[in-house]
Chains A and B, each alone.
Chain A
């Protein structure tokens, strides 16, 4: 299987600041890189994804960048809000990272 590493494991930011979460992977043949958000007590849900033929994708305050050569990809959340507080998971195909607990401080 894939080896997905995710950092940091916890992240606290002030409301309005940006948050960045990074993931690395091992299999250069991987092509699908989704990000999921899991609120407390809820199921994970997709927030954004990117495929290997694209280097960057944006959706309002959320963006994902992919560097296939270096085998890493990142999630960027701008203008953070308290409701962004959750656990975020990166994934490579069907294999998940260990998660980042994001806290946005009002």
Chain B
């Protein structure tokens, strides 16, 4: 498996609190992504990054922000958690220079907002 670690693996938080999920990779891959997985919706792209300090919005970015200050770390922040953000969050990485290649996924983070 590619060296990609998500933390925490599980989290329960209260509505209105900020939450940060961390994705750490040891592969030195350029591209990193955050997805959420919900029944009936598949994997939806939240934000992605093509390099340090180079991020962009995905399909469902409202209520989320990201930061990438180092190649190996990609942080996802829920600024004020809502129950609709209860989900399983996956980080993914891919290599490639100018072309999209296979994505390797982390183990996922199960977030529950109560």
A interface residue numbers (CB < 8 A to B): 1, 6, 9, 31-32, 34, 36, 43-46, 49, 89, 91, 93-99
Interface of B is mostly: loop
B interface residue numbers (CB < 8 A to A): 33, 35, 40-45, 48, 58-59, 90, 99-103, 105-108
> Nearest Cβ distance between residue A10 and chain B, in whole angstroms?
11
What residue in chain A is nearest B48 (Cβ atoms)? A94
Number of A-B residue pairs having CB atoms within 8 Å of each other in the complex: 49
Instruction: Check if A96 sits within 8 Å of B107, measured CB to CB.
Output: no
Instruction: Check if A96 sits within 8 Å of B102, measured CB to CB.
Output: no
Instruction: Check if A96 sits within 8 Å of B105, measured CB to CB.
Output: no
B residues within 8 A CB of A6?
42
> Nearest Cβ distance between residue A93 and chain B, in whole angstroms?
5
State which of A43, A46, A94 has its C-beta within 8 Å of the C-beta of B33. Answer: A94
Assuming the contacts A31-B99, A89-B42, A98-B42, asked whether A1 and B59 have C-beta atoms less than 8 A apart, the reply is yes
Docked CA distance A43–B99 (Å)? 23
Residue among B42, B99, B103 facing the most chain A CB atoms (10 A cut-off): B42
A residues within 8 A CB of B108?
43
State which of B41, B44, B90, B102 has its C-beta within 8 Å of the C-beta of A49. Answer: B102
B residues within 8 A CB of A46?
102-103
